Amino acid sequence: MDKRLLTILRCPVSHKGLSVMKKDQLQKVNAAIGAGGLVNHEGTKVREALSEALVTDDGKRVYPVNDGIPVLLEGESISMEQIA
């Protein structure tokens, strides 16, 4: 992901900055997805593992990145509170 793009992107809900999710965090998210335990903000079960994601600066909300394009829609976001 282009670092210049990351400097201007913001969470559409909290307006906090975003950064690329680290691999260890991404593995935890994907493990929860694999266990069938994650839903997005719309309440839809997340079925596919994330190859890349953006996380808010406070670490509370995750946005998927599909084919290099951040999906910054509130309904598609995943609350990190679901992951123990």
Q: Per residue in 4-29, pLDDT tens?
A: 888 899 999 999 999 999 999 999 99
pTM of the model: 0.92
Say how far apart CA 41 and CA 38 lie, in whole Å: 10
As for how many domains the chain has, the answer is 1
The whole domain housing 54 covers 3-82
Question: Rg (Cα) of the chain, in Å, rounded?
Answer: 12
pLDDT of 70 higher than 90: yes
What is the band of 65 on the pLDDT scale with cuts at 50, 70, 90? very high
Q: Is pLDDT larger for residue 37 or for residue 1? A: 37
The SS3 assignment for 30 reads helix
Tell me the helix, strand and coil percentages in the chain, rounded to 5.
30, 25, 45
DSSP state of 59: S
